[in-house]
Amino acid sequence: MLLDLLAPYRSAGATVLDIGGGIGIIDQELLRAGAGHAVLVDGSTAYLEVARQEARRLNLLDRIEFVEGDFVRRAAAIDPADIVTLDRVVCCYPDAEALVGLSSARARTVYGLVLPRDRRLVRIGFRLENLWFRLRRSAYRAYVHPTARVDAIVAANGLRVISERRTAFWRVVVYDRATTAIDA
């Protein structure tokens, strides 16, 4: 759904910043659609290795930069991009203020998020999931950040909601700096 909502912003030569991009699916698709360069930031060495292998297999390796680590800690060294995406990343980070604030500030044109819907059923599900992690002695925790707060942080960086889709669990939202998409 995120890629569908970003379709109007796919322009030749666009730059992409994919935070928490895992194995690089978003980067690969946007590069194959004409984007010029992508930066994939992820904290997992294993995911980045798979992303490199896939980029090599697709002949995209020379157009993707891989950055290992926590985006919030590395943000000062990461350049702005035309398209910034976080696909199911906000739910894995305790400090939405920092993550959403720093990442949306780097979006020149469009900012895409996939995050949990701020609904009672989703919050209950996350509490149960976190209980499971605690019982398994895992340090991982999942978060449902308030939708209004996320939107306010993004708006403070000059972006506004332009399109949105929802599932029972996820909110897929695209913000931009203008009311019209870039000509593809």
| CA neighbor of 60 nearest in space, from 1, 9, 16, 19 | 16
**pLDDT surpasses 70 at 90:** yes
Q: Does residue 181 sit within a domain?
A: no
Task: Work out the mean pLDDT of the chain and round it to a whole number.
Answer: 95
Q: Does residue 12 sit within a domain?
A: yes
Look at 128-137, 138-147, 155-164, 172-181 and tell me which has the smallest mean pLDDT: 172-181
pLDDT band at 182 (very low <50, low <70, confident <90, very high): very low
CATH of the domain at 69: 3.40.50.150
**pLDDT surpasses 80 at 141:** yes
Contact 82, 111 (CB under 8 A): no
Hey, is 152 helix, strand or coil?
A: helix
Contact 156, 109 (CB under 8 A): no
**Which structural domain range is residue 107 located in?**
2-176
Q: Does residue 183 sit within a domain?
A: no
Task: Please state whether the predicted TM-score (pTM) of the whole model is above 0.95.
Answer: no
Q: What is the CA radius of gyration of the chain?
A: 16
Q: Does residue 162 sit within a domain?
A: yes
Average pLDDT over residues 81-105: 97
**pLDDT surpasses 80 at 178:** no
Contact 80, 106 (CB under 8 A): yes
Q: Does residue 16 sit within a domain?
A: yes
Q: Does residue 168 sit within a domain?
A: yes
Average pLDDT over residues 34-38: 97
Hey, is 111 helix, strand or coil?
A: strand
List the beta bridge partners of residue 165: 172
**Cα-Cα end-to-end distance for the chain:** 18
Number of domains in the chain: 1
**pLDDT surpasses 60 at 184:** no
pLDDT for 11: 87
**pLDDT surpasses 70 at 65:** yes
Average pLDDT over residues 163-168: 96
Q: Does residue 182 sit within a domain?
A: no
Q: Does residue 104 sit within a domain?
A: yes
